[in-house]
Structure 1
Amino acid sequence: MNIDAYRRTGQFDGECLCGAVQIRVDGDYVAAIGICHCSLCQKSNGVVWGAFLASAPAVHVTGQIARYASTSFSERTFCPTCGSNLWLRDTDRDEADYEMMPALFPAAAEFPLISEIYTDRAPAYAPLSGDHRRATRAEYEAKNRHVSGGGS
């Protein structure tokens, strides 16, 4: 599946569980979800981790956020009041896309699943079906930056 087919420009809003953090996407984004089953993402979310991409200039945040440097090149953010995960983002370049948590945005409930990585690390209780790209840990890490052992 070609990610370009899902690129959009528009505006929609989301918020954390308690409403203390408000997020507006106003600009370019990808209206599709990617899933990760690596151990870092599983620990962060408790099951699987899914996100859609939004360009840095499109993301506008109101409210206090907390940051956690989960790798040497990325951070995860969350609401310090309710703990809702907000996004994952590379920290080594200002123009890096935001990997936004779809459940924060009612509009994202319509986005299709288009990719799944670390499929060989997926827990038995969370199988995903459908016609989407899949990659094992070895396949993904052969082509992408990662943390040594982070995908275990």
Structure 2
Amino acid sequence: MTGSMTGHCLCGAVTLSALSHAGTVSACHCSMCRRWSGAAMWVLEAPVGAVEVAGPVERYRSSSFAERAWCGACGTQLWIKDDDGPYELMPGLFDDARDLSLSHEIYVDQAFVSVTLSGGHRRMTQAEYEAAERHVGGEK
């Protein structure tokens, strides 16, 4: 984990602080994330106890194991969070996230051709990811 960052939604009604975070971002190309984000969804992991949130947050239970959240005023996406996992915050909320590298991407076999990411990061197909993360079980 690395240092803290503070960010906010588009309108500023929701503010977030990640007191520690993974120091990298990851990308998901599953069908739910593509629908929610428009293509690939980028996330910055932060431990539950290290995230402070203030403002009008709305939540949606998007699967049997996770919720997604957004600003109730402007609709900016804030996070996805598995029930027993860390926050997966939208890195665009934080100006300081622009320098973070891409650690991995998942569901690469479902990625749009127009969203081909370069670099030497780890890539996992749907089968590889779901074999490693058994709680997912094809819900994405």
TM normalised by structure 1 equals: 0.87
Tell me the secondary structure at the aligned position of residue 120 of structure 1.
helix
Q: Where does residue 33 of structure 2 map in the other structure? A: 41
* Length-normalised TM-score, structure 2: 0.95
Gaps of 5+ in 1: 1-6
Aligned equivalents of 2:79 and 2:9: distance in 1?
Answer: 11
Partner in structure 2 of residue 16 of structure 1: 9
Task: Point out where structure 2 has 5 or more consecutive residues left out of the alignment.
Answer: none
Q: Which portions of structure 1, spanning 4 or more consecutive aligned residues, are displaced by more than 6 angstroms?
A: none
Displacement of 1:11 in angstroms is 2.2
In the alignment, structure 1 residue 142 sits paired with structure 2 residue 131: yes
Query: Counterpart of 1:86?
Result: 78
Distance 1:13 1:112, change over 3 A: same
Deviation of the 1:147 alpha carbon? 4.3
The change in CA–CA distance for 1:25 and 1:13 in structure 2 (over 3 A counts) is: same
Note the C-alpha offset of 1:130.
0.6
Q: Deviations over 1:41-82 (max 9, x none)?
A: 000111110101111111111101000000011000001111
For these two proteins, the number of residue pairs brought into alignment is 139
**Separation in structure 2 between the aligned mates of residue 25 and residue 35 of structure 1, nearest angstrom:** 19
Q: What letter matches 2:57 in structure 1?
A: I
Q: Which residue of 86, 90, 93 corresponds with 1:97? A: 86
* AA aligned opposite 2:63: T
